[in-house]
Structure 1
């Protein structure tokens, strides 16, 4: 008697598909969908994603053991883009709004970490009327937007947010406002 019961158990087990297979397939499908949604959203986001610095430097307030507050210009730091979008920076912020003189990069990176968008312009490549229009746009946002001249630019206008960059040869108000609205106010502090 016990023998037929064992055969029946074996046959029942071999007939059905293990629930673990369904769970595994479901988990893989969920991961694939999440990855696809993330990639589609990134593709639709204004500007381009920037290659990341090594993790230990992304949110660092020190660089090679030197306090960024004592080396606030960050001139020798190998950021992944120029102007930078993330990386070692000071512990203090630039005032939001329009600046007539260049603001050090390491300060503005902290602004971006705190949800800021920085509009950099070349004082030699951007026409005066473009700078006036950028000033008007910046003044619409009392928080989270900084406008600064940046003489090393090879493009007239560059917008940056944490790990995002948009280069413009000519002022495009629609793209500028879209970029600001997409990224301003998003806090990027490591948690």
Structure 2
């Protein structure tokens, strides 16, 4: 019999927190079973998995008018002049404007590129999980197809000034790269 109050309201605050943690763990376990994997992050990435990350000089943070043609020094871009807009966290089937993508990197995002013909269902599910788990303005995850033909590798991970190509999708490498760089953009580092 109830007295008009929700049963959960009568639990102690510590009991409610414990149930929330258990519930979050169950959601994470379910995502793992569905192929999404663990999207939690350690403080930094595994150096062995990041041994092939290439780092580049900062090509600038200047905002330019939308539609301005920018010749980026890396492919895909890792810094440089960019538009004032950003790309929201998410998994995209179409390339997004590089001027907005670079601004998103400046905000601390990780952007994963994929060649559509190489994208496996497991990779798609994993990338969607990352994009759904990391949505903050200053630490978002974006996955999108390359905006050009003949990429150097089937998959690439980018962050401000950093690039890592992958010949096949590796969720452990994605986790290490994201742990190392997510939220650490120059505009407002939050990690």
Q: Tell me how far apart the structure 2 counterparts of residues 136 and 51 of structure 1 sit (CA, whole Å).
A: 28
In terms of Rg, which structure is larger?
1
Secondary structure of the residue that 1:132 maps to in structure 2?
Answer: helix
Q: Tell me how far apart the structure 1 counterparts of residues 157 and 55 of structure 2 sit (CA, whole Å).
A: 12
CA apart distance, 1:137: 2.7
Structure ranking higher on relative contact order (CA contacts 8 Å, 6+ apart)? 2
Contact 1:123 1:149 in 2 (8 A): yes
CA apart distance, 1:101: 1.3
Contact 1:52 1:80 in 2 (8 A): no
The structure richer in helix per residue is 1
Structure 2 counterpart of 1:126: 119
Q: Tell me how far apart the structure 1 counterparts of residues 121 and 185 of structure 2 sit (CA, whole Å).
A: 32
Show structure 1 runs of 5+ residues with no match: 1-40
Correspondences of 1:118-157 after superposition (within 5 Å): 118-143=111-136, 144-150=140-146, 151-152=148-149, 153-157=151-155
Q: Tell me how far apart the structure 1 counterparts of residues 124 and 152 of structure 2 sit (CA, whole Å).
A: 16
Structure 1 counterpart of 2:159: 161
Aligned pairs, number: 137
Show structure 2 runs of 5+ residues with no match: 1-43
CA apart distance, 1:70: 3.3
Secondary structure of the residue that 1:136 maps to in structure 2?
Answer: helix
Structure 2 residue 67 is matched with structure 1 residue 70: yes
Structure 2 counterpart of 1:51: 56
Structure 2 counterpart of 1:11: none
Q: Which runs of 4+ in 1 moved over 4 A?
A: none
Contact 1:120 1:159 in 2 (8 A): yes
CA apart distance, 1:122: 0.8
TM-score by length of 2: 0.63
CA apart distance, 1:126: 2.7
CA apart distance, 1:125: 2.7
